[in-house]
Structure 1
Amino acid sequence: MADMSSRPVYHFIAPRGWMNDPCAPGFDPRTGLFHLFYQWTPHSHRWDRIAWGHATSRDLLRWTHAETPVIAPDTAYDKEGVFTGCFWPAGPKGEDGLTVVYTNVCAVPIHYDKPYTRGCEGLALATSEDGGVTWTKHSANPVLPEEPVGLDVTGFRDPFLAPWPAMDRARGTTGRLYGLISGGIRDIGPCVFLYDVDPADMTAWTYLSPITFPSYKTGLWGGDLGVNLECTNFLTLAAGRIEREVLVTGSEGGVPRFGEARVRRAPWVMGTLASEGNEVGMQRSAAGVVDWGALYAFNTFEHKGRHILWGWLMDEELPDAILAKRGWTGCLGVPRELFLASYAGVASALASKIEDVGCFERLPSGEVVTLGMRPVTELANLRGERVASATGGPKLQLDAPLTMAINLEVEITDETEAVELRVRCSRTVHTSIIFSPQAEVIRVVREHSNAQPDIRKSTEEGRFTLLRMPEIEKLQMIIFLDADVLEVFANDRFALSTRVYSPKEATGVEYEHKGLARVERLEVWEMQAADAT
């Protein structure tokens, strides 16, 4: 079994040990460096007393890692862990420097009969005056020692901080910073806690109100908000004159799938802000899923007009003995750009009315908008040779390397029954990526990926449809394979990430469709190592 697990070479991964949430991504214009932190246990393949690892890059692809944690749980207020947080490219009073805000944990959770009983969590700051080489915890820590007074919360962690001009307009203010802290209020539901933050004194966080979702309905197309939110980020996206506010988040405690014990989901919610008395609420216009698979704990930042998202790709399906032997657990998905996708002249989806597809908003003009997501363009710089190319169909078979990117474009008709791309193929194993047009579903079927009974191989699936404008748009897929990692993108508005454990010699790619369809393009590119250090 040991030869079925390989270390990714072009995905972001810690030098060793366990890693989970991406933390505090950002860019320092003074040095030209991207910064990315992550929750890290360098001494074990298991989660344990989380610290922050740190890496820098000039291109979002090749990262230089600090060999030891840069922020460790070594004070009374964070002795149980340095959890997720955010980045600000200035000092805490606006001076030159860098600041990160993190969740400090000083007591482990006490589990009563009520779910999601939390430990003692607050917010703390750390600063750097040397471009991020060394970090010092602020003398005022914890700057926010607990949740708002009088609230019985299910969680209170994962700060996100940024300017929010739409919130300024709604409140009648200018130039403020806004902080979101994720969690929930018991017997009310999941929510985020909104704070006003003084840009001239980042130790001053003033609580404004919760942002709740009392009328949120998940449906088939939306993400389950569960009981408690984590890692919520806000961003403002625009397409021409259309502007929408978007929250991307993670949720705990939703409806289980595949026998899960404690579920995690990856929803997004889109809408506009409006004043409601002394509070500002969000009027939801659409909702969906950031990633339908195993990507979680998102963190975003804006750089030169692009909103870049990182997520943790969980690694929970191998037995512990294998994880211990290889000495590492977890990585991040490829960086993605989030944008407002806009479509004119839409008549309907393949099998559904647009009004029934919850991730779409139809405007009075007839235009349809949704959250767009695509791999960052920089990833093309890791392409090596194009090792295979084909057109036509209905059956194609290609040779491929273990680390690859696949571009697939298929002309779909109303007679198309299914489109299937099989990866990690040999004579005995394969994994299938199947688009079913009439069911409006993409599935990643892993049951034949290996013959090991102790590896979970459940099917991953997500809702996806094509638009009639009035002709059916082509199916356009980008698939990244990097050792065990599989990430599927479709038409710049769907993503599903997962793990596939197959023998290393299983590298073939096969294509097949049923019904009337035509392959316009099927290309396999070798992907080069990112040479992280």
Structure 2
Amino acid sequence: MTHDLTLPRARPEDAPKGLAERADLDPHRPRFHFTAPGGWLNDPNGLAHWDGVYHLFYQYNPLAAAHHRIHWGHATSRDLVHWRDEPVALVPGTDGPDRDGCWSGVLVDDGGTPTLVYSGRHGERELPCVATGSPDLRSWRKDPANPVIAAPPRDDITAFRDHCVWRENGKWRQLVGSGIRGVGGTAFLYESEDLRDWRYVGPLLTGDAGTGTAADLDWTGTMWECVDLFRIDGTDVLAFSAWDEGATHYPLYWTGRYEGDTFTPDGLHRLDYGQRYFYAPQSTRDALGRRVLFGWLQEGRDEDAVAEAGWCGVMSLPRVVTLGADGRLAQAPVPELARLRREAVRTGAFTVTDGSCLRLDGVQGDQLDIETTLRLVPGASARLVVRESEDGSERTVIEVSRPADGGAGTLRLHRGASSLDPAADSEPRYGELPLNGEGVVELRVLVDHSALEIFANGRALAARIYPTRADALAVGIEATGPVAVERLDAWRMAPVFDGPRPLWP
């Protein structure tokens, strides 16, 4: 991404007139995913469940659909479904360590004081900064000690930003995402008594960028963005987003053991098969004991289309993360999303024969939640088709397949015909699909205009699609080999916002 470091400090009166209204009219704008009122959105930040309220902060530019002079937007919810826009939390300073942007970070509870730890950007440097909030988390004061870490711990780094902060044995600990040139991505560990005076401990874990290439789907990159360390059912997880010289690749996670000042990994895994379409994830543990995760769904259309639309970037639906029987993370949309379901269509059980294609009567739209249970015989595959036009010229295909010789299956998204716009990204996405001996697939597909999130047996795949035809609304199912559809339920999903929203709440 490019960054304009010469823009003046943004003010509410500087917001372009009609930007939010233009964004609201865009047919590709999701309606039940969270989006900013207009302008630019990227990483989820400061995710927390505080006094019964979910707080979602996010990287925000209210002046344009471009990654310039990043602020912290803020939204709240009591159910992870319906959101209220709150006042912008952080604005770049007129001078000082965050003159050119308030970049990603976290919210922590410092003895009852809500405290943000974030990366302030000044010129080409990003350094840790702190801001404290009012009891209702609606107003924030930057600390005069900023930056609270004066410089990276060494000179041979690729970048130094994004934070994971927690309390352990009476002290604060912090990870800062980084990378060591000629070696690989890393997470630098720090320790503090007061969130202001930090002692460098050392790298928690360092990857090997020399293993594999950027074309591989599990290459760990030259820098780790948005590191997130948490424990789930006795397993420690270190999640990060692989970055390389300005290119955002995909989120990965290590499973292993965090002990003392190190993380000992036992496996590296893909967090979402959508690659950059689910990036910079951040998680929190809520009052129900759940691990709740959000990610940034990047755009798949060109900059001119984004500028014309007046908005850019979507927050993923909130996901509940658990530990699967295979020791990997399993993900599912939070159950609260069912509150948006309207007009159910239930098909009951049926069989799709080899080579057949069935359009599903009564199931169509661009705001849908579809759940189906499929049973695949060895060598069979099922293809759920969404956003299909009447003539079939536009269609998006979600395929699940079972190999003839046993073992894991494949989840694959085909976007070659998703849009007649030649500038829209159409590359496929795919990943391993765990199967039991009966070949059962629990598949859930959420379609929200240009946002698409797929969950299959605990694996997730997020992407973006941009149909051009107004009639690209049909849903169908196809098969190679006989496929038993044990159930297929679909709902139209209600929107969570009504009309344009103020760019500066």
| TM-score, with length taken from structure 1 | 0.81
Distance 2:53 2:212 in 1: 39
Residue 81 of structure 1 pairs with residue 95 of structure 2? no
Distance 1:176 1:425, change over 3 A: same
Give me the whole-angstrom Cα distance separating, in 2, the residues matched to 1:501 and 1:222.
Answer: 24
Secondary structure, counterpart of 1:381 in structure 2? helix
The 1-side partners of 2:409 and 2:40 are apart by 36
1:248-297 deviation line (CA, Å, top 9, x unaligned)? 1100139xxxxxx934111111011355xxxx332222221111111101
Superposed, which structure 2 residues align to 1:89-100 within 5 Å? Answer: 89-90=109-110, 94=111, 96-100=112-116
- The change in CA–CA distance for 1:415 and 1:292 in structure 2 (over 3 A counts) is closer
CA drift at 1:87: 0.5
Contact 1:37 1:52 in 2 (8 A): yes
User: 2:196 is paired with a residue of what secondary structure?
Assistant: strand
Task: Assess if the C-alpha contact under 8 Å between 1:49 and 1:73 holds in 2.
Answer: no
Report the CA distance shift for 1:303/1:197 in structure 2 as closer, same or farther (over 3 A).
farther
Report the 3-state secondary structure (helix = DSSP H, G, I; strand = E; otherwise coil) of the residue aligned with 1:145.
Answer: coil
Task: Give the AA of the match of 1:121.
Answer: E
> In structure 2, how many angstroms separate the alpha carbons of the residues matched to 1:28 and 1:281?
30
- State the partner residue of 2:8: none
Where does residue 403 of structure 1 map in the other structure? Answer: 367
Q: SS at 1:325's partner residue?
A: helix
SS of the counterpart of 1:298? strand
Gaps of 5+ in 1: 108-118, 165-173, 255-260, 343-367
2:359–2:476 contact (8 Å) kept in structure 1: yes
Question: 1:292 aligned to 2:273?
Answer: yes
- Tell whether 2:396 aligns with 1:431: yes
Contact 1:223–1:266 (CA<8 Å) still a contact in 2?
no
For residues 371-417 of structure 1, the C-alpha deviation after alignment (integer angstroms, 9 at most, x for no partner) is 1211111111111121353421214322322101110111122242x
Deviation at 1:306, TM superposition (A): 1.0
Task: Encode CA deviations 1:143-199: one digit per residue, 9 max, x unaligned.
Answer: 112211x341111100111235xxxxxxxxx2333211101111221110011232x
Q: 1:511 aligns with which of 477, 491, 496?
A: 477
In the alignment, which residue of structure 1 is the partner of 2:149? Answer: 144
In structure 1, the residue matched to 2:9 is none
User: Contact conserved, 1:26 with 1:301, CA < 8 A, in 2?
Assistant: yes
The answer for the alignment partner of 1:419 in structure 2 is 382
Separation in 1, partners of 2:248, 2:105: 22
- Percent identical pairs in the alignment equals 30
| Distance verdict in 2 for CA 1:4–1:520, change over 3 Å | farther
Partner of 2:335: 377
- Distance, in Å, in 2 between the alignment partners of 1:175 and 1:504 is 58
Is structure 2 residue 178 aligned with structure 1 residue 183? yes
Q: 1:67 to 1:127 in 2, by over 3 A?
A: closer
Matches of 1:218 and 1:338, distance apart in 2:
28
Q: 2:62 aligns with which of 42, 50, 58?
A: 42
**Counterpart contact for 1:84–1:231, Cα < 8 Å:** yes
Query: Is the 1:407–1:479 Cα contact (8 Å) retained in structure 2?
Result: yes
The 1:474–1:46 alpha-carbon spacing in structure 2 relative to 1, beyond 3 Å, is same
Kept in 2: contact 1:390–1:396 (CA 8 A): no
Distance in 1 (alpha carbons) for counterparts of 2:81 and 2:218: 29
Q: 1:246-257 residue pairs with structure 2 within 5 A?
A: 246-253=237-244
Residues 280 and 295 of structure 2 are in contact (CA less than 8 Å); yes or no, is this contact kept in structure 1?
Answer: yes
SS of 2:347 mapped into structure 1: strand
The aligned runs of 1:259-298 (5 Å cut-off) are 262-274=247-259, 280-293=261-274, 294-298=277-281
**What displacement does 1:462 show?**
2.0
Which residue matches 1:358? none
1:339 aligns with 2:322: yes
- The alpha carbon displacement at 1:499 in A equals 0.7
Task: Determine helix, strand or coil for the equivalent of 2:324.
Answer: strand
Any idea what the Cα deviations from partners look like across 1:121-161, whole Å, max 9, x if unmatched? 1111111124111111012111112211x341111100111
- Provide closer, same or farther for how the CA distance between residues 221 and 327 of structure 1 changes in structure 2, counting only shifts above 3 A: closer
Work out whether 1:329 is the aligned partner of 2:275. Answer: no
Question: Take 2:476 and 2:150, find their aligned partners in 1: how far apart are those partners?
Answer: 55
Q: Is the aligned partner of 1:204 residue 2:204? A: no
1:102 aligns with: 118
SS of aligned partner of 2:427 = coil
CA contact 2:145–2:196 (8 Å) conserved in 1: yes
**Match 2:292 to one of 297, 300, 308:** 308
Shift in Å, 1:5: 4.1
Measure the CA separation in 1 of the matches of 2:192 and 2:456: 38
One-letter amino acid matched to 2:294: W
In structure 2, distance between residues paired with 1:86 and 1:526: 34
Q: Secondary structure at the match of 2:29?
A: coil
Is residue 338–residue 372 contact of structure 1 (8 Å, CA) maintained in 2? yes
State the SS of the aligned residue for 2:163: strand
Cα distance in 2 between the residues matched to 1:390 and 1:429: 27
Kept in 2: contact 1:4–1:504 (CA 8 A): no
Answer yes or no: is the 8 Å Cα contact 1:4–1:501 preserved in 2: no
Which residue is 2:16 aligned to?
none
| Aligned CA-pair RMSD | 2.3
In structure 2, how many angstroms separate the alpha carbons of the residues matched to 1:18 and 1:440? 37
CA distance in 2, matches of 1:312, 1:225: 19
User: Is 1:474 aligned to residue 457 of structure 2?
Assistant: no
Residue identity opposite 2:203 in structure 1 = P
Q: CA deviation at 1:465?
A: 3.0
2-structure distance, mates of 1:311, 1:39: 12
TM norm structure 2: 0.85
Q: Distance in 2 between matches of 1:327 and 1:391?
A: 44
1:24-173 mapped onto 2 (5 Å cutoff) = 24-29=46-51, 32-66=52-86, 68=88, 70-90=90-110, 94=111, 96-107=112-123, 119-148=124-153, 150-163=154-167
Q: Distance in 2 between matches of 1:193 and 1:496?
A: 29
- Counterpart AA for 2:251: A
Tell me the CA shift for residue 332 of structure 1: 0.6
Is the Cα–Cα contact under 8 Å of residues 388 and 400 in structure 1 kept in the other structure? no
State the number of aligned residues: 458
Q: Are the equivalent residues in 2 in contact too, given 1:26–1:89 (CA < 8 A)?
A: no
- Tell whether 2:47 aligns with 1:13: no
Q: 2:416 is matched by which residue type in structure 1?
A: E
Asked if the contact 1:437/1:465 (under 8 Å) is kept, the reply is no
